Structure 1
């Protein structure tokens, strides 16, 4: 998304969310900019802000841990699974994608 216009970025994000939400057991998707602001969310405003706050801390701690182990390493993908949910986190240089899905399904991302 490096040299895209704002409109192209929005269209790209909309299309990504649309495709992700077509997956059978995906319940929600969220895109956050690097400053922690929501760019697009399928959740309520309250849940969006809650997820940003909580998962933002997890991402920051994971990045810190990786740089302590290897200063040249970076997070490309994280998966957090509980009994009720599985959260897939994919940070890149422009935004962070969070996908929440049912962990019991065989048809996962």
Structure 2
């Protein structure tokens, strides 16, 4: 458990990180960024669970021997990274700016 805490602390102090959510495969929020509201964490968990399930299905359809382990989504202002495990989903939200903009 100490290793999990160390990893979460390392994520929290990375530049641009605005939040994280750790949820189980049923979408139940287990951990969230301290300043993130429970409602926001649940919204991210539900949305990413749905998207992760669909993306995993697409990868398996393309090649049944492959499995999706990581998903990265870039939007206008944020980047959402999702890491998969057999039991958990780790979601990290960070600010994003295109290169050359201030």
What's the TM-score once normalised by structure 2's chain length?
A: 0.86
Q: From the two aligned structures, give the one with the greater strand fraction.
A: 2
Residue 17 of structure 2 aligns with which residue? 26
1:52 aligns with 2:61: no
Runs of 4 or more above 6 Å deviation: none
Q: Say how many residue pairs are matched.
A: 97
What's the TM-score once normalised by structure 1's chain length?
A: 0.81
Q: Please provide the CA RMSD for this pair.
A: 1.6
* 3-state SS of paired residue (1:100): strand
Structure 2 portions without partners, runs of 5+? none
* 3-state SS of paired residue (1:29): strand
Q: How far apart are 1:105 and its partner, in Å?
A: 7.6
Residue 28 of structure 2 aligns with which residue? 37
One of 75, 85, 102 as aligned partner of 1:82: 75
One of 86, 94, 100 as aligned partner of 2:93: 100
What is the rounded CA distance, in whole Å, between the counterparts of 2:71 and 2:85 in structure 1? 12
- Kept in 1: contact 2:22–2:91 (CA 8 A): yes
Structure 1 portions without partners, runs of 5+? 1-7
Residue 13 of structure 1 aligns with which residue? 4
Q: Could you report, residue by residue, the CA deviation over 1:37-62 in whole angstroms, capped at 9, with x for unpaired residues?
A: 11110121100111111111110100
What is the rounded CA distance, in whole Å, between the counterparts of 1:12 and 1:62 in structure 2? 29
